[in-house]
Amino acid sequence: MQLANWVQRMFARTTSSRLRGARAVVRHRERALAHSQRWLECLEARTLLTTVVIDYSLDTNNFFDTQAKKDLLQTAADSLASHLADNLLAITPGPSGFGFDNTWDAIFDDPATGLDHSITDMTVAAGTIIVYAGGRDLPGSTVGQGGPGGFSSSGTTEFNELVAARGQAGALLATETDFSLWGGAITFDTANEWHFGLTTDGLDSNETDFLSVAQHEIGHLLGIGTARSWQNQITGSSFTGAASVASFGGNVPLFGDLAHWAEDTTSNGQIATMNPVLLNGTRALFTELDFAALSDVGWEVVQNTIPSVTLSVSFASIAEAAGTSTVTATLSEESAQDVTVDLIFDGTATNGSDYTRSGTQIVITAGNLTGTVTLTAVQDVLDESSETIVVDISDVTNGTESDTQQVTARITDDDLPRGAGLQLLDINGVPGGFLEGGSFPRELVDVNGTLFFAATTPGAGNELWKSDGTVEGTVLVKDINSGAINGVTSSFPSGLTNVNGTLFFVATDDFMRRNDGILRRALWKTDGTSEGTVMVADVTPFIPSPGASGFIVAVGDTLYFSGSDDHVSLEDEDHGTELWKSNGTAAGTVEVANIAPDIPGSESSSIPQRLIDVNGT
């Protein structure tokens, strides 16, 4: 056993790589360019061939203080690892069988301090790379540092070779043609202005895109600019790796440190990730040239597969009154090319008269996952049944259709019927009869996508209903007046008004009677549930007839209405019908002003009407 020789040889080799990796930096300066997204994989549809395990145990400066930041770093790592098909063998220290142990130390820069850090006898699973991540205040304009870790090992020849190469024979040659690693470390500048986003939405001109820097540093960790197999393919100031030359169309110029492409190097018109400079406000993800560099270093790089396309619709049912629904085409993974999805439209609805569409084709630009078209219903006065818009894929360019894709949006008619019941649902449920089969919906009001209205049935009378545009979702909210008074079993909801997501209305229940037995109205509110449908205050809003407007209005978070409280007792009729307001509570339901004070012996009313909200007043 030539144990001492292996320890010295392995340590010397990996120390040079680790130190070079520590110098592999990304700098940024102020300049605005159009951003681009490419090669970021949709990993839900791809099996990871190489697994990157990120360890945050040394992140003592708490740079990764949210799960979202950790998830974004994992996305960056997986987007590269999913292209690597090498069979990395497991590193398992322990008894050698020859009277001594196989042991090793993983050596790397502590991401929080920059000082040497070592871990003894770490077990690394097959196909796995371990990355220690963190942050610290980096010097100057450096925003990231990364590189493969070093090691020292002691044990059998087989074990030392395993730690050094993990089964990659070319990594053991005198002139290395392959690369292997147990893992390494990456760190990010804690003083920098970062954009932590999966997309470029919100990426400002003063921010550095974290995803771009993360991919860049992981590229160094995987050997670009740091591996001896990279060094062995440098001639002068150019990189001569076969795959990179084929992608670039010639030897690739290098930056002065010989660890990056020359500044502003592009691949297929896109800024390459392994440039030395990342411009603020821009995104530069891995390109064809960057993946070619991994291939030249020694990785078995799996080419991008052709993405498949699926369709989805944001709303399966839309209101005829300019309701909209978005049809989204989603790729299984991002593509370096634009993907064009041609659509065909069918169904009972007619384009132009029943609905409009923003296009018949969805173009998903390179580096993005989704594209959309918008369907907008057209309002008409025809009493008709619901109509459908059926959307299919007719052709896909630079992609494939995932099985057979089809989505449907239904346009729900909102026109009142003539002598017939509600078209969505026969609420009345009785053909003919005293209601002629109609429930006569009225006072239709939208509250956060739910339609509220008053309708009549033989069992409940005229009560409050709601609908989500489906038969199953069209239901009675609450039978407020469930007991007959003077032969009446209806609460007759009216004045339906949306106040920031809460529906206010006026109704009669079976407890609202004066000592003369005459029914009175009160202010109610609802959250759409029976339990949440309650009387706000024992006050009588004044609405002279169902559907009459101008007597109740929302102004910001407050409801204003014409009303009075003279139903409380016959002996306390101080005020007539005046201006009231309510915040949805009994205590907050108060008279605003007694505009027409009573004359002794009689009651006067100002009867406010034509109430209008003018910029919050």
Residue among 147, 131, 133, 110 nearest 17 (CA): 147
pLDDT digits (tens, 9 = 90+) for 347-385: 999 998 889 999 999 999 877 889 999 999 987 656 567
* Percent of the chain topping pLDDT 90: 48
**One domain for residues 216 and 293:** yes
Residues 302, 234, 40, 33, Cα dihedral to 10°? -150
**One domain for residues 406 and 449:** no
Residue 370 inside a domain? The answer is yes
Q: What is the mean pLDDT of residues 3-17?
A: 29
Lowest mean pLDDT segment, chosen from 74-83, 230-239, 275-284, 476-485: 476-485
User: What's the chain's average pLDDT?
Assistant: 81
Confidence of residue 79 (pLDDT cuts 50, 70, 90): confident
Token digits for 595? 């505009």
**One domain for residues 313 and 293:** no
**One domain for residues 315 and 220:** no
Range of the domain at 281: 3-297
Work out the end-to-end distance of the chain between its first and last CA atoms, rounded to an integer number of angstroms: 91
Q: Is the pLDDT of residue 127 over 50?
A: yes
Q: Is the pLDDT of residue 327 over 70?
A: yes
Give the residue, 299 or 382, on which the prediction is more confident.
299
Residue 459 inside a domain? The answer is yes
**One domain for residues 313 and 281:** no
Q: What is the mean pLDDT of residues 92-119?
A: 95
Residue among 345, 241, 365, 351 nearest 294 (CA): 241
Confidence of residue 439 (pLDDT cuts 50, 70, 90): confident
Residue 433 inside a domain? The answer is no
Convert 298-338 into a string of H (helix), E (strand) and C (coil).
Answer: CCCECCCCCCEEEEEECCCEEECCCCEEEEEEEECCCCCCC
**One domain for residues 98 and 230:** yes
Residue 314 inside a domain? The answer is yes
The SS3 assignment for 281 reads coil
Please report the pLDDT score of residue 466 as a whole number. Answer: 92
Q: What is the mean pLDDT of residues 584-612?
A: 71
**One domain for residues 382 and 496:** no
Provide the 10 A C-beta neighbour count for residue 397. Answer: 12
Lowest mean pLDDT segment, chosen from 87-91, 294-298, 329-333: 329-333
Please report the pLDDT score of residue 599 as a whole number. Answer: 53
Q: Is the pLDDT of residue 58 over 60?
A: yes
**One domain for residues 317 and 288:** no
**One domain for residues 172 and 85:** yes
Helix, strand, coil tally for the chain in percent (to 5): 15, 35, 55
Instruction: Please give the Cα distance from 306 to 398 (Å, whole number).
Output: 7
Residue 556 inside a domain? The answer is yes
CATH code assigned at 315: 2.60.40.2030
Residue 319 inside a domain? The answer is yes
Partner residues linked to 371 by β-bridges: 329
The SS3 assignment for 552 reads strand
Give the residue, 352 or 538, on which the prediction is more confident.
352
**One domain for residues 276 and 352:** no
E-strand ranges in 336-386 read 339-346, 355-357, 361-364, 370-377
**One domain for residues 77 and 53:** yes
Please report the pLDDT score of residue 322 as a whole number. Answer: 77
Confidence of residue 604 (pLDDT cuts 50, 70, 90): low
Model confidence, pTM: 0.50
Q: Is the pLDDT of residue 12 over 60?
A: no
Please report the pLDDT score of residue 33 as a whole number. Answer: 25
- Beta-carbon contacts of 538 under 8 Å, excluding residues fewer than 6 positions away, are 512, 522, 565, 567, 568, 586
Q: Which of 251, 277, 297 is the last residue of a domain?
A: 297
Q: Is the dihedral of CA 29, 33, 38, 40 positive or negative?
A: positive
CA 344, distance to chain mean position in Å, is: 28
Confidence of residue 255 (pLDDT cuts 50, 70, 90): very high
| Domain count of the fold of the chain | 3
**One domain for residues 84 and 173:** yes
Instruction: Please give the Cα distance from 334 to 366 (Å, whole number).
Output: 7
Q: What is the mean pLDDT of residues 225-248?
A: 96
Residue 428 inside a domain? The answer is no
Lowest mean pLDDT segment, chosen from 93-107, 223-237, 277-291, 429-443: 429-443
Residue 481 inside a domain? The answer is yes
Question: The tokens 């400079």 sit on which residue?
Answer: 277
